[in-house]
Structure 1
Amino acid sequence: MISHRQMEAVYWVNRLGTFHAAASHLNLSQSTVSKRVQECEALLSCEIFDRSTRHVRLTPAGRSIISLIEQILNLQEEIRHTARDPDHFSGHFTFGTTEMVAVSWLPRLVSAIRNAYPRVVLEPVIDDAAPLFRGLRDRSLDLVIAPRLRGDLGLPHLPLGSVATSWMCASSLYDGPDTLSVDRIVEFPLLIQSEQSSIYDLLTQWFRECDVSINRTIICNNTTAVAELAKAGFGMACLPSTHFMPQVDSGALRIIHTSPPPPPLDFVAAYRNDRMSPICARIADMARAQNDFRPLGSAILS
C-alpha cells in the first residue's frame, strides 16, 4: 500500500516541478524525496515522472493517478482538521491583506483566529492585491483578503462584500458643484495607487468604458498616502467611501459625484486549492464574520 509520505512526495514534486523544490518545501533531503517517489513507482509498477528534462513531468500513468493522490491527501487533511481539537492545531499560517483591511478590521480577525487556533503562528503580509494573489498562486501565502482583480480568479474564494468608492478632493483644489462629468474629473491630477493595486486595475477599465483618457496622474504606494495628498490639494482621489467618511465629515475632503459612479471594490477571501484548503476555508469564514471597513479610529487617518 502506498504511504502518506510517498504520496506527499509525488504531490509536491508535481506541484513544484523539481525534486529539489519539493525537498525544500517538505524540509527533507532531495535523496529522501527521490527515494519516496521511487518506492511509490515500484509499488504501482509504473513510472510516475519523466525525468529526462530539468523540470520533471508526469508520464501518462502519472497523469492518470495524480488527481486521485491529491484527493486522498486532501481527505486525510480534512479528517485531521475535523477530528482534532483546535487547541492542538499548530503550524505557521501566512496570509496577505491590503492596507485597507490592515487599518480597519484585521486586528479583530487576528484575535478570532488566535482564539480558535491558539497554537497557530500567524504571519501577516500587507501589500497590493496583485502581488498578494501571485503569492497565493506560488504558495508563499495560504490565504489572501483583498479586492479581486478583473478576470477569472481561478482560486477557491469567499465573497466578503463590496465597498463603494467615491471621488474625493480638498476644497482648495475644487470648490464648485459636487457633481462633475467624468471628462471633467480628468482635468485635475489624479491620485492613484500603484499598478499593482486593485483600484488602479478597476479605474483604468472604468475610464476606458467611459471613453475618457487619463491625463495627469500621481502614483502612490498606499491608500493613506493618496488620501493625505488629496487633503493637501494635490489632486482628485478615488477612495473607499465609508472608510474615509470621517475626513469628509471633518471638511478635510469633499465627495465629488460622477455618472457613472466609480467602481466598487469587491473583496474576497481567497485561498489555496490544496491540503491547506480546510483550515483556509474556516479562516475565510471568520473573515466574512469580522469584516467591517470603518476605520479603527480617526487618529489613524487624521
Structure 2
Amino acid sequence: MAQINIKQLETFVQVADLGSFRRAAEKLNTTQPNVSARIASLEAQLGRKVMDRDAGSVRLTPFGETMLVKARQVVAAMDDFVASAKNDVLFDGVLRLGVTEMIAHSWLVPYLSALRARFPNIDVDLTVDLSANLSAGLFNRSLDLALQSGPFGRASAVSQPLGSFPYTWVGARSLGIGRRVLSWPDLAAHPILTHARGTLPFEQITDHMAGFDGTPARLVPSTNMSACIQMTIEGLGVACLPEIMVRQELVTGKLEALRYLWCPDALRFFARHEDTAPYFVREAAEVAAEVSWADLGVIRDE
C-alpha cells in the first residue's frame, strides 16, 4: 500500500480550497517548499497529477477533483478520530481568529485564556477589524472563525449566538450633563462620537438625527473605538457605545452614563465558521459562547 499520510491529504485539501501554495503554507503553519514537497510526494505515490500549477495559480485536474472528495472524507474522519479520544492536547495547529474591536476591548482576554486552557497546543493568529472585513476573510478562507456583529450580507454555514450588547450614551463628568434627562438639542450641542460610516449603529444614529431637522449635530465617525473612548474621557464629545466597552470607565468615574432615552439597537454577536471546520474550530466557537454569557452582562438571545 502506498505510504500516503494525513499531512499530504490535509495539504491537498488546503491548496485546493485556498487556490495557492503560499496561502496553504500560512494556514498549515509551514513553508511553501514543504507544501510543494507534500503535493509532489502525493502525486508520485498516486502515479497521477492532482493539480496543475501555472504562474502562481492552481487548478485541479479531473483526477484531482475526484480525489479531493475522498481526501476530505479521510481528513474529516481523522479529525473525528482524534476528537473521540477526548484529549484536546492532541490538537495542534493555528486558529486564524477574527474579532471586532468591541470584543477586543471587552472579553477577548478571558476568551483567549479559556481557549488556551482548552487547547494548549493551538496557536491563535488574531485579526481585529470591522465586521464587514471579517466576513470577507471568512469567505475567502483567510479566517477560520469570526466573532462579529450582525446583520450579515452573506450567511455562513454556522452562526453560534454570542448574545446582545446594549448601547449607552456616555460623556465626561466635566460636561456636567449627566444628572438630568437629555433632549436631542442637549446632545447635539456636543460632537457625537460614533462607529465608522457604513456600520449599522452609525446609520441608525444618522436616521435618528434626521428626525430633528432644526437641530443638526456634528457626527464624528471612527474605526477605532479605543480612540473614541479616550476622546470622550477628554471631553471632546459625547458617545453612544456598547455598555460593555465602557463599563470600567463608568465604574472608575472617568465617564458617566447620560440619560438620553433613545439608543441604537443592541449589537447581536455571533461566532461564525464553515460547517466543514475542524473540531477545534467548532469548539472554539462554543468556548466563545461560554465566555460571552459568563458574568459579562451579555443579554442572552432567546
Ranges in structure 2 where 5+ consecutive residues have no aligned partner: 298-302
Distance across 1 between alignment mates of 2:247 and 2:22: 51
Counterpart selection for 1:35 from 40, 58, 70: 40
SS of equivalent to 1:56 = strand
Counterpart selection for 1:201 from 184, 199, 220: 199
How do 1:118-157 and structure 2 match up within 5 A?
118-148=120-150, 150-157=152-159
Corresponding residue number in structure 2 for 1:278:
279
How do 1:22-101 and structure 2 match up within 5 A?
22=24, 25=28, 27=31, 29=33, 31-36=36-41, 38-39=43-44, 42=47, 48-49=50-51, 55-58=57-60, 62-63=64-65, 66-83=68-85, 85-101=87-103
Corresponding residue number in structure 1 for 2:181:
178
Taking a change above 3 Å as real, the CA distance of residues 218 and 226 of structure 1, as seen in their structure-2 partners, is: same
Report the more deviating stretch, 141-150 or 241-250.
241-250
- Percent identity, aligned pairs only, is 24
Shift of 1:267: 1.6
Report the more deviating stretch, 106-115 or 281-290.
106-115
Counterpart selection for 2:269 from 241, 258, 267: 267
How do 1:151-170 and structure 2 match up within 5 A?
151-170=153-172
How do 1:226-265 and structure 2 match up within 5 A?
226-245=228-247, 247-248=249-250, 250=253, 252-259=255-262, 261-265=263-267
Distance across 2 between alignment mates of 1:21 and 1:242: 36
Corresponding residue number in structure 2 for 1:11:
13
Say whether 1:111 aligns with 2:118: no
Between Structure 1 and Structure 2, how many residues are aligned?
285
Distance across 2 between alignment mates of 1:62 and 1:87: 33
- Give per-residue Cα distances to partners, 1:101-140, cap 9 Å, x unaligned: 3443333333322332333344544444344444444545
Shift of 1:159: 1.0
State the TM-score, normalized to the length of structure 1.
0.72
Equivalent residues of 1:150, 1:201 under 8 A apart: no
Distance across 1 between alignment mates of 2:195 and 2:84: 41
Taking a change above 3 Å as real, the CA distance of residues 27 and 242 of structure 1, as seen in their structure-2 partners, is: closer
Ranges in structure 1 where 5+ consecutive residues have no aligned partner: 296-302
Equivalent residues of 1:150, 1:202 under 8 A apart: no
Equivalent residues of 2:8, 2:39 under 8 A apart: no
Query: Alpha carbon RMSD of aligned pairs, Å?
Result: 3.9
Equivalent residues of 2:195, 2:201 under 8 A apart: no
Amino acid at match of 2:257: R
Taking a change above 3 Å as real, the CA distance of residues 8 and 165 of structure 1, as seen in their structure-2 partners, is: same
Equivalent residues of 2:205, 2:264 under 8 A apart: no
Amino acid at match of 1:204: F
